[in-house]
């Protein structure tokens, strides 16, 4: 049986100690920031008014439309991820953006089908498809079927409803990926987590294959984060607290190379930070750290039933 007690319980204690804690004393914003990114956001209109600017509130919560060529995201050329300005839900990648000439930011598709919801809008004497954020139900804009190939769609969004984030990616292996993912899901600044397999030699492995210990893969979690909110060093600090990096060949009763402790680094900077962080964990009289530090290779998302899994054994409901 997989064990979540160490991974989740200790991780959440670390979060309460300060990792990813909301900044400032504004109660409504603190409430929003405490909601894991994979969970639905339900706030009152009064709470949203305290969080959003008047312009954002008029568009996001009152279904307004900004004047063209005025929104902050209508024509940025930077790369990154466009997130919901209300709740931070990642919505569109910069590679999906195109210049439509309308004065509103336009995209060919959303990052994933579950990031937005579509509904019929009959306001203003027209029939249109309204686009809303799937996480917080905020109004974003409309989608039209006059876009470029390959989708033929034009997601016409209000710039004030979006925020461009220069995201980074990190990959962690610390035993059973259920608990690891749960811990990072509760970290402020983490926009997306994916449980999966990496570090081995078999392409597109299944869970059953990985469990045979013949693929070389570790159960891991890939984390997309906003470095302006949480640093890679802070994520490393959390990583050390949610498992025992001194145990060799598994975690707790979960034994085997697929449960090993490992850091898969995506940049030379991450490698240097990971090595320094690992060295800081060493000390006289302590068993050596077994954590591997290797360059990140192909990452294969795990099956859908493994994503954001919450075990009743640690008092959390299964999603």
Higher pLDDT among residues 37 and 162, named by residue: 162
Q: pLDDT tens digits for 46-56?
A: 999 999 999 99
Closest CA to 35 of 84, 72, 75, 79: 84
> For domain 35-165, which CATH number applies: 2.170.150.20, 3.40.1390.10, 3.40.190.10, 3.40.1160.10?
2.170.150.20
More confident residue, 12 or 186: 186
Residue 314 host element (H or E) = none
The answer on pLDDT for 75 being more than 80 is: no
Read off the pLDDT of residues 138-152 as tens digits, 9 standing for 90 and up.
Answer: 999 999 999 999 999
Only one residue has tokens 């804690």, namely 21
How many other C-beta atoms are found inside a 10 Å radius of the C-beta of residue 37? 23
User: When comparing pLDDT for 290 and 17, which is higher?
Assistant: 290
Q: Which of 84, 133, 136, 156 is catalytic?
A: 156
CATH class (in words) of the domain with range 5-21+167-314? alpha beta
Length of the chain: 319
Average pLDDT, the chain: 87
Render pLDDT for 237-255 as a digit per residue (tens, 0 to 9): 999 999 999 999 899 889 9
pLDDT digits (tens, 9 = 90+) for 100-139: 999 999 999 999 889 999 999 999 899 999 999 999 999 9
Mean pLDDT of 54-79: 88
> What is the model's pLDDT at position 6?
39
pLDDT of res. 217: 97
Q: Where in the chain is the domain with CATH 3.30.1060.10?
A: 5-21+167-314
Q: Which two tokens stand for residue 196?
A: 């999966």
Q: Is the pLDDT of residue 5 over 50?
A: no
What was the pLDDT predicted at 168? 94
Q: Which of 87, 176, 211, 314 is catalytic?
A: 176
Residues 6+ apart with CB under 8 A from 293: 262, 263, 265, 271, 274, 275, 278
DSSP 306: G
Task: For CATH 2.170.150.20, list the domain ranges present in the chain.
Answer: 35-165
Residue 310 has pLDDT above 70, yes or no: no
Q: Per-residue confidence at 284, pLDDT binned at 50, 70, 90?
A: confident
Predicted confidence at residue 79, as pLDDT, reads 80
- At residue 26, the pLDDT reads 78
Can you give the pLDDT at residue 88?
93
Q: What is the pLDDT of residues 225-240, one digit of tens each?
A: 999 999 999 999 999 9
Query: Residue 211 catalytic?
Result: no
Q: Which stretches does DSSP call E strand in the chain?
A: 81-84, 90-93, 97-98, 106-107, 116-121, 128-133, 139-144, 154-157, 162-165, 168-174, 190-198, 218-225, 250-251, 254-255, 261-265, 292-295, 299-301
- Beta strands per DSSP E along 46-153: 81-84, 90-93, 97-98, 106-107, 116-121, 128-133, 139-144
């Amino acid at each position: 049986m997989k064990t979540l007690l160490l991974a989740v319980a200790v991780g959440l204690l670390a979060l309460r100690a300060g990792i990813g804690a909301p900044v400032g004393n504004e109660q409504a914003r603190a409430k929003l920031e405490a909601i894991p990114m994979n969970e639905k956001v339900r706030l009152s209109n009064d709470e949203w008014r305290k969080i959003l600017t008047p312009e954002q509130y008029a568009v996001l919560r009152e279904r307004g439309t900004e004047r063209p060529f005025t929104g902050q995201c209508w024509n940025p050329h930077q790369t990154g991820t466009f997130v919901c300005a209300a709740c931070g839900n990642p919505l569109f990648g910069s590679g999906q953006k195109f210049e439509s000439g309308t004065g509103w930011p336009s995209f060919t598709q959303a990052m994933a089908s579950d990031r937005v919801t579509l509904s019929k809008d009959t306001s203003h004497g027209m029939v249109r498809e309204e686009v809303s954020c799937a996480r917080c139900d905020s109004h974003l804009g409309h989608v039209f079927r006059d876009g470029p190939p390959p989708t033929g769609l034009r997601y016409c969004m209000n710039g004030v409803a979006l925020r461009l984030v220069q995201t980074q990616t990190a990959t962690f292996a610390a035993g059973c990926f259920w608990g690891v993912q749960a811990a990072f899901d509760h970290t402020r600044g983490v926009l997306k987590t994916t449980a999966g397999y990496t570090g081995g030699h078999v392409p597109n492995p299944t869970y059953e294959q990985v469990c045979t210990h013949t693929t070389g893969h570790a159960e891991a979690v890939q984390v997309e984060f906003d470095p302006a909110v949480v640093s890679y060093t802070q994520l490393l600090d959390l990583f050390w607290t949610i498992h025992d990096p001194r145990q060799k060949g598994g975690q707790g009763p979960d034994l085997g190379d697929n449960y090993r402790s490992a850091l898969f680094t995506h940049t030379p900077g991450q490698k240097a930070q990971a090595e320094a962080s690992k060295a800081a964990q060493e000390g006289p009289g302590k068993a050596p750290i077994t954590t591997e530090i290797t360059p990140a290779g192909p990452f294969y998302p795990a099956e859908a039933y493994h994503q954001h899994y919450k075990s009743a054994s640690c008092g959390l409901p299964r999603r």
